[in-house]
Amino acid sequence: MIYSMTGYASASRELPEGVLNLELRAVNHRFLDIQIRMPEELRSVEPALRELLAGKLSRGKVECRLGHNQAVAGAARLELNESLVRQLADLNRQVQAMLPDSQALRVADVLRWPGVLASNALPLDAMREACTVLTQTALDEFNAFRTREGNRLKTFLLDRVARIETLVGTIAPRMPQVLAAYQERLATRLKEALGSSDDERIRQELAIFMTRSDVDEEISRLTTHLVEVRRVLERGGTVGKRLDFLMQELNREANTLGSKAADNEVSQTAVELKVLIEQMREQVQNIE
């Protein structure tokens, strides 16, 4: 199975205390980067959610948004943390004694202070279990999305592999024709320059040209790398980094092939190869 790093999923669950909503979004990233946004009253659930996500995902920048819309009928009775309020009042007096021009704490500031207001509306154990189940539901949908996208990427890459193989297959049969044309041009130039054709000189120049334009090694390596790309795609799993390395190797061989191009047709083929390889490289960046 090939997985895309790009994905989206959402899930919700109704509870007596209200409605839980969870959203998962992901884009490609070199490593696994999980960002979780949730209300402070559910913050204790974060470690369990992070562990669950990390157990199912290997790479990508993942954003998890967990929200809780509290039911009106089940609204909590708020309780004041009197001890904390007294501490804040004492600290406020100390600061004003040191800084007479400072502004005193307002009631709204105190009420917003973490821990000042306690609520009995959210039973943490039940909420933790509900959040875990909700995350698992969203993850199932999320991975199904990534699988569909991964299959599309696989089809795209295999299509490009087939097209590259076709192009590579046109190069080797053309080389004898290229050498014959070069030999003819060389003989013509020597005859124009020297008034006669020097067979030995032609053989020497032709040997040098053959050495410089020999692309057998590049064709062999391109073929080997393409076979490996097919094997990796069929094996599946976390293959993004391996495919990215293979794209670099394919591009290197295509560049060398272009630098050795003996005629315009081979040169144009090398350009087409690099275009296809670049298309593959861009898509490989999205594979986990």
76-90, 183-197, 262-276: least confident range: 183-197
13-22, 60-69, 154-163: least confident range: 13-22
pLDDT of residue 73: 47
Pick 226 or 205 by higher pLDDT.
226
Kindly state the average pLDDT of the residues 18-43: 91
Helices assigned H by DSSP within 13-100: 46-56, 82-98
For the stretch 247-259, pLDDT in tens is 999 999 999 888 8
pLDDT of residue 16: 78
- Give the model's confidence band at 21: pLDDT under 50 very low, under 70 low, under 90 confident, else very high: very high
CA distance 276 to 266: 15
Pick 196 or 242 by higher pLDDT.
242
Which residue in the block uniquely carries the two structure tokens 């993850």? 139
Instruction: Please count the CA atoms within 13 angstroms of the CA of 183 that sit on its side-chain side.
Output: 14
Kindly state the average pLDDT of the residues 61-78: 74
CA distance 24 to 3: 15
pLDDT of residue 68: 83
pLDDT of residue 162: 97
- Look at strands 60-70 and 18-27 and give their pairing: antiparallel
Residue 126: partners with Cβ closer than 8 Å, 6 or more residues away: 15
CA distance 9 to 78: 34
pLDDT of residue 74: 46
Say what percent of the chain tops pLDDT 90.
50
Mean pLDDT of the chain: 85
Q: b/e map of 73-91 (b: 16 or more CB within 10 Å)? A: eeeeeeeeeeebbeebeee
Identify residue 37 by its one-letter amino acid code: R
pLDDT of residue 246: 97
Beta-carbon count within 10 A of 56 CB:
14
Instruction: Please count the CA atoms within 13 angstroms of the CA of 92 that sit on its side-chain side.
Output: 13
Which residue in the block uniquely carries the two structure tokens 């089809």? 155
For the stretch 88-133, pLDDT in tens is 899 888 888 888 888 888 888 888 887 777 655 556 778 888 999 9
Asked if pLDDT for residue 6 goes beyond 70, the answer is yes
- Give the model's confidence band at 49: pLDDT under 50 very low, under 70 low, under 90 confident, else very high: very high
Kindly state the average pLDDT of the residues 207-230: 81
Asked if pLDDT for residue 23 goes beyond 80, the answer is yes
For the stretch 161-215, pLDDT in tens is 999 999 999 887 877 777 777 666 666 666 666 555 556 665 666 565 555 656 7
Query: Tell me, what DSSP letter sits at residue 28?
Result: -
3-state secondary structure of 102: coil
pLDDT of residue 17: 72
Report whether 258 contacts 267 (CB < 8 A).
yes
Asked if pLDDT for residue 82 goes beyond 70, the answer is yes
Q: Model's pTM, two decimal places?
A: 0.72
Instruction: Please count the CA atoms within 13 angstroms of the CA of 7 that sit on its side-chain side.
Output: 30
